[in-house]
Amino acid sequence: MSDPPAGGAGGMPAAARGTPSAGSNAANGGAGASAKGAAGEAPAAGEGGGGGDGAAAPMQTDEIPSADSFPRLEASQLGTPKVISTEFDLAESPIWDHCEQRLLFSDVNNRKIHSFVLGGEIGSYMEGTNYVNGMIFDPDGFLLMAEMGGGRGGRITRMGRDKKIQVVIDRDPMGGMLQTTDDLTLRSDGTIYFTDPIISHGPYWNDLASLVTHPIYRLKPGMGEREIVRESVAQVPNGIRLSRDEKFLFVAAYLGDEVLRFDVAADGSLGEPKVFATGLDAADSMCLDIAGNIYVGVRSGLQVLRPDGSKVKLIPIRANDRTTNCGFGGPDGKTLFITAWTAFLQLDDMPVPGLDWYEHKNIKCN
């Protein structure tokens, strides 16, 4: 591999998927899962908001507009992003925080999480992280984080607004340490899907021979139930996202230069992978809009795909600065934030709002 593989990011809790209008090609979503259901245990006393008693937390959600409300996405609708800053070492996982009306994104190798308010400057949200990469909010407002671990083993953790961290999982099904936990996504019943490739770069060094296939993991919800099911394999699975209707799981295969799609059964198990899109050089992490279009970070920019996997446009980002991830934010969910290895960018006036923006809209702000 000529240059280091970028990590994946942020994910999307399906807690606030809403009810699409009749005729929509997106299915209805479920009620929000409790944070304990996602993490497998209740927060200790004083460890941030939510908690609850293990039952699914009902969400008051705004209806997400039907996917059919938006015309077919065309290249002419996509503008040019502006660079906000170029001072990072593996920027990742932009995620909109509705409670504070700001964006959070990780700076993996600098072990930081940054904050950004539209029109303002980049601030510091957290320093000294355990190489946090992917981030999502759960319905109770806790931040679920995929931590790469800096060569000491990866893990998934859960953090309240008081910055106290709980370990959700740090072992694989055989009891061994996780490797370089990269990205995660959350189903409406609290199931967490995550990727944990072995990455050979910098603090994540490992044998290149191992960079062939790795499993995708499923962490089942439920009080005290911390089982992880080894489901399938992909060529260095990186970014991971559920579709709006939760019927499909998309996984970026970094070395395969493709995005795979898995059917998701009612019990959360996965079918055999199907190739959704190919020719994606170093496919990294991704985000979706509410019409089902998928935006994938690749070596030369952000590749935009329609719901059928056809290519709309490659949005160039920066020469020699591979794109890692994206997420939507702003007052209407139509500002697209993009991370590259060293850069953070903003693209205004997107034609379709982001799915992640809607899904995080009704998190608890404890």
> Which range among 49-53, 72-76, 102-106, 113-117 shows the weakest confidence by mean pLDDT?
49-53
Output the pLDDT for position 32: 34
Average of per-residue pLDDT across 58-65: 59
What is the pTM for the complete model shown? 0.82
For residue 63, the cross-strand partners are: none
pLDDT band at 236 (very low <50, low <70, confident <90, very high): confident
Mean pLDDT score of the chain, rounded to an integer? Answer: 81
Phi, psi of 216 (to 5 degrees): -105, 135
Q: How far is CA 304 from CA 82, 289, 330, in A?
A: 17, 11, 20
- The SS3 call for residue 204 is helix
- Nearest CA to 340 out of 8, 90, 118 is that of 90
- The SS3 call for residue 108 is helix
Output the pLDDT for position 230: 67
Angstrom distance (rounded) from CA 288 to CA 179: 27
Angstrom distance (rounded) from CA 183 to CA 6: 11
Angstrom distance (rounded) from CA 104 to CA 253: 25
Opening angle at CA 329, ends 190 and 74, nearest 5: 105
Q: When comparing pLDDT for 277 and 317, which is higher?
A: 277
Tokens 């991971």 locate to: 240
pLDDT in tens, 17-50: 443 333 333 333 333 333 333 333 333 323 333 3
Which token pair is 268? 């959360």
Which token pair is 353? 């709002």
Domain 14-359 in CATH 3.40.190.10 = no
Q: How far is CA 251 from CA 52, 126, 233, 262, 324, in A?
A: 32, 28, 10, 8, 14
> Which range among 112-121, 136-145, 316-325 shows the weakest confidence by mean pLDDT?
316-325
Q: When comparing pLDDT for 349 and 254, which is higher?
A: 349
Angstrom distance (rounded) from CA 75 to CA 313: 5
How much is the CA Rg of the chain, to the nearest whole Å?
18
333: left (phi over 0), alpha (psi -120 to 50) or beta: left
